[in-house]
Structure 1
Amino acid sequence: MTDTSSATGGLRALARASVRTAIADRALQLFDEQGYDETTVDDIAAAMGISGRTFFRYFATKEDVVIGDLIIGGAALRDRVAALIVEQAPWHALHGAMREGAEEIDANPVRWRRTMRVINSTASLRARNIEKHLTSSALLTPVMSGHVAPDPRLGDLPARVVVSSAFACLDSALTSWTTADGSVSLVDTLDIAFAARLDQTAVR
């Protein structure tokens, strides 16, 4: 027998996710065209034909439209790394986990290039993005600590450096990919960034 209440709940969740995505896409377009600071919640609501109150049913703040749904970050990234590091070296596990996120971004490049343009052009969003990376780094460092030899005086410093270096590769790859002509995928750009970190001949 079909559980009607579960089916109805599932449809409602899908409908909510669809509306949330539509609001985010329209907001990102406005932010990209008009500027993030210059675009208000009322502007977004008017463009969508909804009220400001309805907007806040889907997003707690205007920032959450841009930052809240970033694919790469947090507990999910930690779990990806933890699964990969069982069989891979720490650096390759970080690369592999971030590469999975890059593949998801490559599936919708127009939306994510727009997202990164808005972030890179807005100081408050850049700060929020850095904050998210710091939070993710704090989650990843204990995972790395079990596989990277500690410093006898400074403990998990080597693990912190490995994690920070991986995020530096990610940020550099995203910046290059966002401003490039679109001929190179984010996955390939990320591969180049991680390889450059390992290639000692790249340092003169």
Structure 2
Amino acid sequence: MTEESTLWQRSRQAAYAEITSTAMRLFLDQGFEQTTIDQIATTAGISRRSFFRYFGTKEDVVLGGLAQQGELMRDALENVPLTVEPWEALRQALHAVDALAVEPGVTLKIAKMMYGTPSLRARSIEKHLHWQSLLVPNIRRRLGLAEDDATDPAPAAIVASAITCLDVAGELWTSGDGTEDLGVLYDRAVAAVRSGA
């Protein structure tokens, strides 16, 4: 990588962070649906067109990190020995990327905004479906299935259930104003799914 491309990449990352910070401040001050893309662009000192160079939708400003976290999850899962059973391996991967580590305050405000805004909720489900496509191959191997075996529903069912447990735990954590431990809520949700209770 050349020095010029590294400089360009750093400039792009700085602009992305600045736009995200500006947008999140507006979202938290006045509400997600009340904030327009034009307002974000104006406040950040960029054009509307420039906004779309960094983000596909307004929802992506809030949830952009979720897609990246899926890739980190995939990498973390690959680092868990294949001898570890699927549910525990997924739990270890979640901990490795701090998906179960949250703190009240801004995180809680963002979570309330996400769970309370239908378009954000829908987009988060879409991002989690992407997680599923990233994680299923590892779980398939972990279950001793052939790479190209798409007939067994177990890998997709396990991953989808684990992601849903995380979502349920997040919603409970949010509705409880962040007073409970997200990791404990996730473990309880998983236990309920696995026991059938």
What is the TM-score with the length of structure 2 in the denominator? 0.78
> Is 1:161–2:163 an aligned residue pair?
no
> Is 1:94–2:94 an aligned residue pair?
no
Deviation at 1:199, TM superposition (A): 6.7
> Is 1:197–2:193 an aligned residue pair?
no
Distance 2:101 2:190 in 1: 22
Distance 2:20 2:131 in 1: 23
Runs of 5+ consecutive residues of structure 2 not aligned to the other structure: none
- The 5 Å alignment of 1:45-194 reads 45-70=41-66, 73-102=69-98, 106=102, 110-148=105-143, 155-182=151-178, 188-194=181-187
Distance 1:69 1:156 in 2: 31
Deviation at 1:93, TM superposition (A): 0.7
Query: Equivalent pairs: percent with the same residue?
Result: 35
Larger Rg: 1
Deviation at 1:79, TM superposition (A): 2.7
Distance 2:137 2:50 in 1: 40
> Is 1:28–2:24 an aligned residue pair?
yes
The aligned residue for residue 12 of structure 1 is: 8
Instruction: Please tell me the residue identity of whatever aligns with 2:124.
Output: N
How many residue pairs get aligned? The number is: 193
Deviation at 1:181, TM superposition (A): 4.2
Are 2:86 and 2:142, in contact at CA under 8 Å, matched by a contact in 1? yes
Equivalent position to 1:44, from 40, 43, 57: 40
Distance 2:137 2:106 in 1: 33
Cα separation, partners in 2 of 1:51 and 1:111, compared to 1, 3 Å: farther
Q: Name the SS for the 2:96 alignment partner.
A: helix
Cα separation, partners in 2 of 1:36 and 1:168, compared to 1, 3 Å: same
Q: Name the SS for the 2:66 alignment partner.
A: coil
Deviation at 1:87, TM superposition (A): 4.0
What is the TM-score with the length of structure 1 in the denominator? 0.75
Are 1:98 and 1:170, in contact at CA under 8 Å, matched by a contact in 2? no
Cα separation, partners in 2 of 1:71 and 1:128, compared to 1, 3 Å: closer
Distance 1:192 1:72 in 2: 23
Are 1:120 and 1:126, in contact at CA under 8 Å, matched by a contact in 2? yes
Greater CA deviation, 71-80 or 92-101? 71-80
Runs of 5+ consecutive residues of structure 1 not aligned to the other structure: none
